[in-house]
């Protein structure tokens, strides 16, 4: 809200120093943004919160100043002279949509001379950033910025049928507004019509057909009260926001309408001459019933932590326009808010009024606050360990948007077959320039991977190297009739090959839950290369998927280089991780290490071979480690491979002898030979 | 098959105290006929001493080579070592971790809740009635199942503030309560340098008997001191939020000017009532911070979109 320093001083004496003024306004709720000099005036920019429409006007701001600096507030009392035929004889107003227009008043002025406004009026409006149009329009604007009531002046002679009807638009109706744009009107909007057609969009903007021009002789001054929600939705639907709609949206002072109409007519008579027809047309609701609030002044100390003397409370509330009476009980006051303060309906609101004017700087900021313990959850700790492991593995952390376009959503959804949730409107401006044509960003993602492939693509296009990224975030899986499930996932996208990424995942598991045996099972997901991907399982539970990105998907996501992805379920990782590690005795005796080079069929999987070795090795087997695979068809025959592996044997009770080690190795080899047709090279 | 353990080292093989070959010879002394025994014993000792002195000699010469202080001109100590690239955490994660840590020291436990919410938790319980402009379909991401016909805005939406978590915690917990809720929130602003339709919030809530605005100001002062690492002046000034009354904006004084760091206030009695707390018995303070804002001020990031583009050169600046 822009206010003029000179204009304010019409209603209240201002402190000599501007700094003092804006500081007190800031500290009582009108945050000072900036002040600039305009001519010999100053334009003060104040931030007005949506609950204070009364401060969207100079009188409202002046009232705050009068209370803050204890100065009297002077408000003009317009009593324009009238004459001639009563206005009711001239024309009639009816409201057909009382849910959209609560009240409509009109006054008629005959014989005006439309022309330039006097200098003082041009200057006042210029200070608050409004261009002067003519003496009639300027008067309506002046009164709106004075008291907050929007007004509109019609060229009376261009109204058809001597009547005004306030109604919803007829089917197919449109309006050429004074900004010379044409608007198609829809049900739910509030139209001001004459005997024939729509002439104005109530509370939003007037129509060009009845606009005041230099030729205008007789004018009709409208001051009305429109439903805030419908004004808001109309302004948004038509993308037509005006100073009037801004004020009607926040609700106006219903009891000030007639004052504003008289004030506007008085100004027009002053600056454009003419004669005000006697009487006023005033239809609809007259006023809202205001409830008195039972107020316990001691509540202030219970809420604010400081007491404010009762006399000061009464002075503050009285100055703000509240009526304060005894509440019938010595601990209570009966307080009725003024009609411009629709935001105040409860005791707590009065506490705020007294507190903000008294000043929150009186509230101490160094009292004792009791100490309590705070608990850190297991999940939180595990996630921190996952992050630490991922960064140690050379991965940078990404954060990507939760809403994705359809093309990404359908590219990869291993966790659910249920359709994604759709947002009522897309996220705008979130796509990289090269991805603008991918479609509306309006689906809640069911996997992190597509968003991360896009991150990979952007990094590739910028010639970045070592593009290895992870993200920990939720996916959204629809659940009929309930809130969706939002499991947390760990997504990885990197330039690694399958086996290196698997190694990274295993390394992370090693840190979280070293006893975990990770199973890799074949899977068939179009995003992944079928020969280089797997579903990862721990016991019977799916931990996630891991694999190299298929050529098809690389084309779909415009990725040039080879890449691999993994997506793992964080809840399962949390479940696998022990909150506290239990210590196990370590053997003080030396180990014996043996390398084997086993020849087996290509179909033998390492997991199965290792399981056999673990079983056969029994208690003495400390570890079995994979080294390498070779193929030599000439010596070993077709479809055979050599697996080089190392076993470490150790006893917890004694130094292992060569004979014991030999015996264990023999039983391992025998078992491998029986179960996997393995032979020692 | 190969073997190689400590037991199999040559030293152990020949001189091992229990199973070395010399020991085996010593054991064989028993089989030497009586009269030859002393001579054989002497001979064995002589051999042992010779082996011992040869071993010591060898060790000494190895040691002196090790201590020879002759520079090798081919050695370049300035050559870079093979580096292991350590990844970086996202600056938003770092900011969140720091906020969590500070709040934990002040006794706040972190709580989570769903990002997809119903109208009760996102609006009604937070004193945002059916007719409130904040519920406008254009200002929220309302949700439906893709492909299904729906009429009007549904009951599900992406939460527009993390205060929803406070409602969920209070609905299931008896007071006193001291929590923070942290996470993603959504508002349909078109992305530009200062807006993004998804961002992160941290909100704190403390409900107990006799909580006043003095507690709020003290908490904000403690928070500012922890976050900025020095005791700086703070101020609160009136503002407006539906779920607090009175509502304030909190500023700290930094580098010669007041910097806004978040909204706060006393929990609105309506909010307490809607979760079944008696507002005559219990009162609370609440405050909320925009994580991106704090992160951007601290690291002098001027375009919020950089946080979500995830260019690795951007991410690798933060440590």
A405-409 own/partner pairs: CB under 8 Å, 24+ apart: A405/A431, A405/A438, A405/A439, A405/A440, A405/A441, A405/A442, A405/A443, A406/A439, A406/A440, A406/A442, A406/A443, A407/A438, A407/A439, A407/A556, A408/A438, A408/A445, A408/A450, A408/A451, A408/A453, A408/A454, A409/A443, A409/A445, A409/A446, A409/A450
CA distance B311 to chain A (A): 6
CA distance B180 to chain A (A): 11
The answer to whether B131 and A233 are in contact (CB under 8 A) is no
**CB within 8 Å: A360 and B237:** yes
Closest CA to B41 of B27, B56, B55: B27
3-class state of residue A64 by DSSP: helix
**CB within 8 Å: A52 and B178:** no
Q: How far, in Å, CA of A455 to CA of B309, rounded?
A: 7
Residue B3, pLDDT score: 44
pLDDT digits 0-9 by tens, A62-71 = 999 999 999 9
CA distance A134 to chain B (A): 35
Question: Which residues in B lie closer than 8 A to residue A485 (C-beta atoms)?
Answer: none
CA distance A341 to chain B (A): 14
Q: Measured on CA atoms in the order A600, A604, A607, A609, is the torsion positive or negative?
A: negative
Q: Is the pLDDT of residue A154 over 90?
A: yes
Residue B1, pLDDT score: 42
> What would the two tokens of residue A475 be?
């996916």
Does A429 reach chain B within 8 Å, measured CB to CB?
A: yes
Which of B19, B82, B90, B307 best probes binding to A when mutated, by most A CB atoms within 10 angstroms? Answer: B90
**CB within 8 Å: B213 and A303:** yes
> What would the two tokens of residue A583 be?
């210590």
B65 band by pLDDT with thresholds 50, 70 and 90: low
Q: What is the mean pLDDT of chain A?
A: 95
DSSP B142: B
The answer to whether A187 and A169 are in contact (CB under 8 A) is yes
How much helix, strand and coil, in percent to the nearest 5, is found in chain B? 40, 25, 35
Residue of A nearest to B196 (CA): A430
| DSSP-assigned states of every residue in A225-254 | EE-HHHHHHHHHHTT---HHHHHHHT---T
**CB within 8 Å: B93 and A392:** no
pLDDT digits 0-9 by tens, A447-463 = 999 999 999 999 999 99
3-class state of residue A628 by DSSP: strand
3-class state of residue B106 by DSSP: coil
Buried b / exposed e over A232-265, threshold 16 CB at 10 Å, is: bbbbbebebebebbbbbbbbbbbebbbbbbbbbb
Run of H or E including B286: strand B283-290
**CB within 8 Å: B133 and A50:** yes
Contacts of A465 (CB under 8 A, 6+ apart): none
**CB within 8 Å: A432 and B309:** yes
- How do B156-158 and B116-118 pair as beta strands? antiparallel
- How do B244-254 and B234-241 pair as beta strands? antiparallel
Contacts of A651 (CB under 8 A, 6+ apart): A587, A589, A619, A620, A660
Question: Which residues in A lie closer than 8 A to residue B315 (C-beta atoms)?
Answer: 396-398
Which of B3, B212, B239 shows the shortest C-beta gap to A305? B212
| DSSP-assigned states of every residue in B3-29 | ---GGGSHHHHHH-TTT-HHHHHHHHG
- This prediction's pTM: 0.86
3-class state of residue A308 by DSSP: coil
Buried b / exposed e over B265-304, threshold 16 CB at 10 Å, is: bbbbbbbbebbebeeeebbbbbbbbbbbbbbbeeeebeeb
CA distance B41 to chain A (A): 30
Residue A328, pLDDT score: 83
Length reported for chain A? 681
Does A74 reach chain B within 8 Å, measured CB to CB?
A: no
Question: What average pLDDT does this structure show over A364-392?
Answer: 94
3-class state of residue A355 by DSSP: helix
Q: Measured on CA atoms in the order A147, A149, A153, A156, is the torsion positive or negative?
A: negative
Q: How far is CA A177 from the centre of its chain?
A: 33
Q: How far, in Å, CA of A190 to CA of B314, rounded?
A: 51
CA distance A236 to chain B (A): 9
For residues A417, A422, A428, A429, the Cα torsion angle rounded to the nearest 10 degrees is: -10
3-class state of residue B294 by DSSP: helix
Residue B2, pLDDT score: 43
Q: How many CB pairs under 8 A join A and B?
A: 276
Residue A631, pLDDT score: 93
| Cβ atoms within 10 Å of B308's Cβ, excluding its own | 21
**CB within 8 Å: B110 and A377:** yes
**CB within 8 Å: A365 and B238:** no
B132 band by pLDDT with thresholds 50, 70 and 90: confident
**CB within 8 Å: B239 and A49:** yes
User: Which single residue is written with the structure tokens 């030859």?
Assistant: B36
Cis peptide before A244 (omega within 30 of 0): no
| DSSP-assigned states of every residue in A189-224 | --EEE-SSSEEEETTTEEBGGG---TT---EEEEEE
Which of B184, B210, B316 shows the shortest C-beta gap to A402? B184
> What would the two tokens of residue A456 be?
């990979």
Residue A487, pLDDT score: 97
Which of B97, B190, B218 shows the shortest C-beta gap to A365? B218
User: Which single residue is written with the structure tokens 């090693």?
Assistant: A510
Does A468 reach chain B within 8 Å, measured CB to CB?
A: yes
B66 band by pLDDT with thresholds 50, 70 and 90: low
3-class state of residue B58 by DSSP: helix
Which of B85, B103, B307 shows the shortest C-beta gap to A394? B85
Question: What average pLDDT does this structure show over A586-612?
Answer: 95
Residue B27, pLDDT score: 75
Cα angle: A342, vertex A205, A3; to 5 degrees: 55
Establish how many alpha carbons lie within 13 A of residue A146's alpha carbon, considering only the half-sphere containing its beta carbon: 25
Which of A49, A320, A360, A488 best probes binding to B when mutated, by most B CB atoms within 10 angstroms? Answer: A360
Strand partners, A94: A165
Question: What average pLDDT does this structure show over A641-663?
Answer: 95
A265 band by pLDDT with thresholds 50, 70 and 90: very high
Q: Is the pLDDT of residue B4 over 60?
A: no
Which of A365, A422, A595 shows the shortest C-beta gap to B144? A422
The answer to whether A235 and A204 are in contact (CB under 8 A) is yes
Using a pLDDT cut of 90, give the percent of chain A over it: 92
Q: How far, in Å, CA of B175 to CA of B188, rounded?
A: 34
> What would the two tokens of residue A37 be?
């000099």
For residues A418, A419, A420, A425, the Cα torsion angle rounded to the nearest 10 degrees is: -160
**CB within 8 Å: B1 and A595:** yes
Question: Which residues in A lie closer than 8 A to residue B196 (C-beta atoms)?
Answer: 430
B147 band by pLDDT with thresholds 50, 70 and 90: low
Q: How far, in Å, CA of B97 to CA of B106, rounded?
A: 14
Does A589 reach chain B within 8 Å, measured CB to CB?
A: no
Question: What average pLDDT does this structure show over A99-110?
Answer: 96
Q: Is 0.85 exceeded by the ipTM? A: yes
């Amino acid at each position: 809200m822009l206010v003029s320093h000179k204009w304010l001083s019409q209603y209240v004496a201002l402190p000599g120093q501007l700094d003092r003024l804006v500081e007190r306004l800031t500290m009582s709720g009108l945050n000072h943004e900036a002040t600039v000099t305009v001519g010999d005036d100053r334009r003060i920019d104040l931030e007005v919160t949506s609950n204070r429409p009364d401060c969207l006007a100079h009188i409202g701001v002046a009232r705050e100043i009068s209370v803050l600096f204890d100065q009297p507030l002077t408000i003009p009392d317009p009593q324009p002279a009238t004459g001639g035929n009563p206005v009711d004889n001239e024309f009639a107003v009816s409201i057909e949509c009382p849910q959209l227009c609560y009240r409509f008043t009109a006054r008629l002025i005959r014989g005006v001379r439309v022309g330039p406004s006097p200098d003082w009026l041009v200057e006042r409006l210029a200070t608050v950033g409004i261009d002067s149009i003519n003496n009639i329009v300027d008067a309506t604007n002046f009164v709106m910025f004075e008291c907050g009531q929007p007004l509109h002046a019609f060229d009376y002679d261009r109204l058809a049928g001597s009547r005004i009807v306030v109604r919803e638009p007829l089917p197919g109706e449109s309006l050429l507004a004074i900004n010379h744009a044409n608007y198609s009107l829809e049900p739910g909007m509030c139209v001001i019509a004459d005997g024939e057609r729509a002439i104005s969009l109530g509370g939003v903007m007037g129509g060009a057909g009845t606009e005041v021009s230099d030729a205008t002789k007789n004018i009709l001054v409208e001051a009305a009260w429109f439903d805030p929600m419908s004004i808001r939705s109309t302004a948004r639907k038509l993308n037509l926001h005006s100073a009037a709609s801004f004020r009607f949206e926040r609700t106006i002072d219903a009891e000030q309408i007639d004052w504003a109409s008289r004030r506007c007519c008085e100004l027009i008579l002053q600056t454009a001459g003419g004669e005000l027809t006697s009487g006023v047309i005033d239809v609809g609701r007259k006023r809202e019933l205001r409830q008195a609030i039972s107020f316990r002044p001691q509540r202030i100390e219970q809420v604010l932590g400081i007491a404010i003397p009762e006399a000061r409370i009464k002075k503050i509330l009285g100055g703000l326009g509240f009526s304060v009476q005894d509440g019938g009980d010595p601990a209570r006051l009966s307080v009725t808010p003024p009609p411009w303060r629709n935001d105040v309906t409860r005791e707590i609101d009065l506490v705020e009024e007294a507190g903000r004017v008294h000043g929150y700087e009186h509230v101490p900021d160094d009292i004792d606050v009791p100490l309590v313990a705070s608990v850190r959850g297991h999940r939180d700790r595990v996630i921190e360990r996952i992050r630490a492991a991922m960064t140690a593995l050379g991965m940078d952390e990404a954060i990507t948007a939760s809403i994705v376009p359809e093309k990404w959503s359908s590219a990869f959804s291993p966790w659910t077959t249920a359709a994604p949730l759709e947002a009522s409107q897309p996220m705008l401006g979130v796509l990289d320039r090269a991805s603008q044509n991918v479609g509306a960003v309006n689906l809640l993602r069911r996997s992190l991977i597509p968003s991360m492939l896009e991150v990979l693509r952007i990094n590739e296009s910028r010639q970045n190297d070592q593009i290895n990224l992870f993200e920990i975030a939720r996916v959204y899986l629809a659940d009929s009739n309930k809130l969706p499930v939002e499991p947390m996932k760990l997504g990885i996208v990197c330039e690694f090959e399958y086996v290196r990424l698997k190694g990274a995942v295993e390394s992370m598991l090693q840190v979280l839950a070293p006893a975990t045996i990770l199973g890799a099972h074949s899977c068939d997901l179009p995003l992944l290369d079928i020969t280089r991907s797997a579903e990862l399982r721990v016991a019977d539970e799916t931990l996630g998927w891991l694999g190299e990105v298929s050529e098809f998907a690389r084309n779909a996501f415009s990725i040039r280089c080879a890449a691999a992805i993994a997506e793992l379920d964080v809840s399962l990782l949390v479940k696998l991780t022990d909150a506290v590690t239990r210590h196990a005795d370590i053997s003080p005796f030396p180990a014996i290490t043996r390398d084997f080079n086993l020849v087996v069929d290509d179909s033998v999987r390492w997991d199965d071979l290792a399981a056999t070795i673990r079983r056969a090795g029994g208690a003495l087997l400390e570890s079995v480690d994979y080294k390498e695979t070779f193929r030599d068809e000439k010596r070993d025959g077709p479809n055979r491979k050599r697996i080089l592996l190392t076993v470490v044997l150790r006893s917890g009770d004694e130094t292992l002898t060569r004979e014991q080690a030999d015996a264990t190795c023999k039983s391992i080899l025998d078992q491998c030979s029986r179960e996997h047709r393995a032979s020692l090279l | 098959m190969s073997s190689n353990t400590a037991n199999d080292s040559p030293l152990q093989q020949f001189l091992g105290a229990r199973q070395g070959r010399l020991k085996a010879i010593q054991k064989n002394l028993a089989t030497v006929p009586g009269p030859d025994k002393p001579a054989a014993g002497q001979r064995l000792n002589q051999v042992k001493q010779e082996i011992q002195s040869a071993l010591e000699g060898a060790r000494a010469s190895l040691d002196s080579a090790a201590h020879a202080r002759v520079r090798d001109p081919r050695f370049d100590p300035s050559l870079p070592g093979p580096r292991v690239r350590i990844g970086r955490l996202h600056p938003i994660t770092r900011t969140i971790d720091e906020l969590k840590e500070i709040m934990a020291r002040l006794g706040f436990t972190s709580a989570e809740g769903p990002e997809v919410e119903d109208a009760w938790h996102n609006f009604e319980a937070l004193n945002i009635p059916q007719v409130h402009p904040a519920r406008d379909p254009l200002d929220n991401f309302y949700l439906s199942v893709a492909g299904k016909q729906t009429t009007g805005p549904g009951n599900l939406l992406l939460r527009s503030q993390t205060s929803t978590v406070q409602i969920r915690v209070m609905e299931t917990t008896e007071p006193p309560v001291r929590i923070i809720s942290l996470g993603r929130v959504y508002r349909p602003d078109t992305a530009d340098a200062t807006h993004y339709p998804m961002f992160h919030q941290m909100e704190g809530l403390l409900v107990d008997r006799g909580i006043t605005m003095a507690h709020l100001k003290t908490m904000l002062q403690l928070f500012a001191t922890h976050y900025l690492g020095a005791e700086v002046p703070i101020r609160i000034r009136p503002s407006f939020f539906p779920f607090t009354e009175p509502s304030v904006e909190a500023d700290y004084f930094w580098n010669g000017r007041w910097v806004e760091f978040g909204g706060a206030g006393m929990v609105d009695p309506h909010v307490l009532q809607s979760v079944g707390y008696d507002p005559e018995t219990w009162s609370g303070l609440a405050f909320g911070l925009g994580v991106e804002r704090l992160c951007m001020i601290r690291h002098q990031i001027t375009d919020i979109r950089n946080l979500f583009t995830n260019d690795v050169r951007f991410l690798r600046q933060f440590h």
